[in-house]
Structure 1
Amino acid sequence: MQTTLPLADQDKIERRFKALKVRQPIGDIYIASVDYRPIQEITFFDVRRRLQEQRDVEQYLGIQRPLNDRRVTELQKYVNYIDATFPGTIIVSVENDYGAYDEATGEIVVSNTRWGEDKPTQMLRQIARVIDGQHRIAGLEGFVPTAERQNFDVMVAFFVGSDISDQAYVFATVNLEQTKVNKSLAYDLFSLAKSRSPFKTCHNIAVALDQLPTSPFYQKIKRLGTSGDERGEETLTQATFVNGLIVYLSRDPKLDRDLIIRNHPLPQPSADDLRKLVFRGLFVKGDDVLIGKVYEEYFQAVKERWPEAWAYSGTGIMLWRTNGYRALSSIFGRVYKSVAKPGQAVTRMDFSPMFNRVKLNWQDFNTDRFKPGSSGEGELRRLLVTEMTLFD
């Protein structure tokens, strides 16, 4: 049986938030610190019902951006990490009838009742339309207060009385024109962290192998995702390198980082963990140097098996470019387990017999045979698995 949602609350409700008035060309904006509970109170309806379809702002722009359940689940877990933060501003819009700035108290005031009336004319949860920040608001539903942390305040920018065209303009400015953070830059910033984490370990290995003259990756990794002017042979972004390695250290790198910051011990890996996470035991022990050395030796074996392809600096050979690296990194765990137990030190001489089974010559790694994109990467992976007999 379908129930009809009430159009208004039974009682008058008012919420007040200390706010700063910010004067900008578009008009006045009110910046407030709002606790996780009231921000859900005044926006919950918009997040949970409207965003499953389309919001007014998005209809106006002719685009769709539904609530991403996977993203919400990730954020609901993230908000309980010891160093969780939402430093960005959530942007909402309130109609003139239900929102105003109290100059005397320096507060933004929202209510479910029109000014000058006593009877509610709206649901409180419909007061604020979310322009930006809906996933953060939904993520805060998962926040669990503890004795250590009772509050999770977020910065909220209130637009009062703005029409739909203004809201659409703000939405477009924030979401369609902003520059995305370079993923390689994000990984590089983990070097500044004081505590260990899977991200920092993989970053340090990437930097070390890029700088070590004897490394197969010497000057081949684009730090921050962009090439240096003086280094013309960088073909792998730091993000690509890290993504290929980190899957062997951790199922949940963010959770590991949180446990380490809290000084909680990482659980010892089970036998099932080590089937996939072949470096998990080494990471738990803190032996990052051996992780980097084994990974380096693996790619040294590749380099020595096809030295011409690895040294080729022109176009058309993909072995040490993104597709080649992804294919090789994706089978690393199976190759490693074929020559040693997870956590054991091995050298290129241990890996070499596995690559000697592969009948490709160096010219075969051309982009006509292994097309750019995921199809070429997948084709190389399947060929390596077959000729190395790596079937699980």
Structure 2
Amino acid sequence: MEYITKQYIELKCLEATQPIGNMYVAVINQDELEYISFADVRRLRDGSDNREVEDYIGIQRELNPNREKEIGKYVNLIDASFPNSIILAMSSNHAEFDEKTNTMKILYKQDVAKVLDGQHRIAGLNHYEKPGNTFQCIVTIYIDMELEDQAIVFATINKEQKNVSNSLVADLYAFAQSRSPQKTAHNVVRALNAKEGSPFYKRIKILGNARNKEVETITQDTFVKNLIKYISKNPQQDRDFYKRKKRKKLPLVEGAELERYFLRNIFIEDEEDYKIAQILWNYFHAVQKRWPEAWDNLRPNMILNRSTGFIALMRFFKHAYLHFNKIGEIVSKEEFYSIFKEIDIDERNFTKDVFVPGSSGQGELYRQLRDKSGLAK
């Protein structure tokens, strides 16, 4: 093909500075964009698996053949238009910006531009039937963007505009190189879901895209939200601190603040998150031991192992943990069980008929756990 003989393409750009770094807005011809870009679009076609962000993005945002065909038809209409920018990430080994001429020089080679947003539009352009006519696209280019930031840009764009699941957004924090409450919660959830013997073994809908809905009864998003509330008042602010300060640590908390965020100092002091995972493992192991049939019962009418039961148990978790006056330490399975064995709730009652799905059922179960345990505060 004649365009392969090109060595570089040059694009006039507008440079914009934002907190995440500089970005460059340009206009590029459709055939050039198709040639230099890559995303799960090409990965899925050629079977290659050398992916980074796409390993996560691809699970949730696989190329939809029907969407590709729909856009393929659209691009050939007389009034076809892509008014929104396609987001690309490139290495400085392949692209260089000249401030004097406001020109971006890009190596004209396949797979030099990673698509963070816009893979379906590019796939649809493969069906453009008017090669003699120009179809130009607006692109936003990031140079030498860290993998973490690529993931966060993707998550931000899609959380706000395309309703990507909150579980996927939580999962993308795994790319973070610095600590954050989000990453800690992600690590804990992953560990509890993956470790055989865990009360949550293969029970959590990672990425909110369950392979077996009958077994996976709790979403990653539900778990993360109910865990983070005991770690941080402002998770985004904490994440920003670690990203800016690198190796410095947040100040420890004490008094009433420590009682409210009783896992916070463990999060701050430890390099690993195993302590938080072990505490939750022990707590829910005690729940499973106290009500084994209700916890392991996968019938849709049962609520203990679903969001109604889980959210109520996570509210009660604060009372159970603080009861032992061991903040910062691991409370054992036996200690947690000593609380639950005193709670007189028949496990046959953990149904939707008794505890209605939603906040009312969650609240009622929480109140019964609190009152029957004698741990009310």
TM-score by length of 2: 0.58
- Are 2:347 and 1:362 equivalent residues in the alignment? yes
Aligned residue runs from structure 1 range 156-305, under 5 A:
179-229=162-212, 232-262=214-244, 263=246, 264-286=248-270, 287-305=272-290
- Partner secondary structure for residue 319 of structure 1: coil
- Partner secondary structure for residue 339 of structure 1: coil
CA distance in 1, matches of 2:345, 2:173: 38
Deviation at 1:192, TM superposition (A): 1.4
- Match for residue 318 of structure 2 among 292, 315, 333: 333
- Are 2:325 and 1:343 equivalent residues in the alignment? no
Instruction: Give per-residue Cα distances to partners, 1:167-207, cap 9 Å, x unaligned.
Output: xxxxxxx99x9530210001111111111111111111111
Larger deviation, residues 177-186 vs 346-355:
177-186
CA contact (8 A) 1:235 1:322 kept: yes
Considering only CA atoms, is the larger Rg found in Structure 1 or Structure 2?
1
1:311 corresponds to: 296
Unaligned runs of at least 5 residues, structure 1? 1-15, 32-86, 90-173
* Cα 1:26–1:347 shift into 2, 3 Å: same
List, as ranges, runs of 4+ consecutive aligned residues in structure 1 with deviation greater than 4 Å. 16-24, 26-31
CA distance in 2, matches of 1:27, 1:297: 56
CA contact (8 A) 1:21 1:28 kept: no
CA contact (8 A) 1:339 1:351 kept: no
CA distance in 2, matches of 1:356, 1:255: 40
Return the letter of the residue paired with 1:337. L
Instruction: Give per-residue Cα distances to partners, 1:260-296, cap 9 Å, x unaligned.
Output: 1122420111222211111111011024111110111
Aligned residue runs from structure 1 range 54-203, under 5 A:
179-203=162-186
Instruction: Give per-residue Cα distances to partners, 1:2-25, cap 9 Å, x unaligned.
Output: xxxxxxxxxxxxxx9997599983
CA contact (8 A) 1:318 1:367 kept: yes
Aligned residue runs from structure 1 range 20-39, under 5 A:
20=27, 25=79
CA contact (8 A) 1:370 1:379 kept: yes
Instruction: Give per-residue Cα distances to partners, 1:217-247, cap 9 Å, x unaligned.
Output: 0110001012114x74001000011111111
Deviation at 1:374, TM superposition (A): 1.4
2:91 corresponds to: none
CA distance in 2, matches of 1:388, 1:277: 22
Larger deviation, residues 180-189 vs 231-240:
231-240
CA contact (8 A) 1:210 1:220 kept: yes
CA distance in 2, matches of 1:208, 1:28: 42
* Cα 1:20–1:385 shift into 2, 3 Å: same
- Partner secondary structure for residue 371 of structure 2: helix
Return the letter of the residue paired with 1:244. N
CA distance in 1, matches of 2:233, 2:328: 17
Deviation at 1:390, TM superposition (A): 2.4
CA distance in 2, matches of 1:344, 1:265: 19
* Cα 1:189–1:389 shift into 2, 3 Å: same
1:160 corresponds to: none
CA distance in 2, matches of 1:186, 1:218: 22
Return the letter of the residue paired with 2:281. E
Return the letter of the residue paired with 1:323. T
CA contact (8 A) 1:19 1:30 kept: no
Return the letter of the residue paired with 2:262. V
- Partner secondary structure for residue 391 of structure 1: coil
Return the letter of the residue paired with 2:286. A
**RMSD of aligned residue pairs (Cα, Å):** 3.0
Return the letter of the residue paired with 1:362. E
Q: Percent identity?
A: 37
Return the letter of the residue paired with 2:253. P
* Cα 1:363–1:29 shift into 2, 3 Å: closer
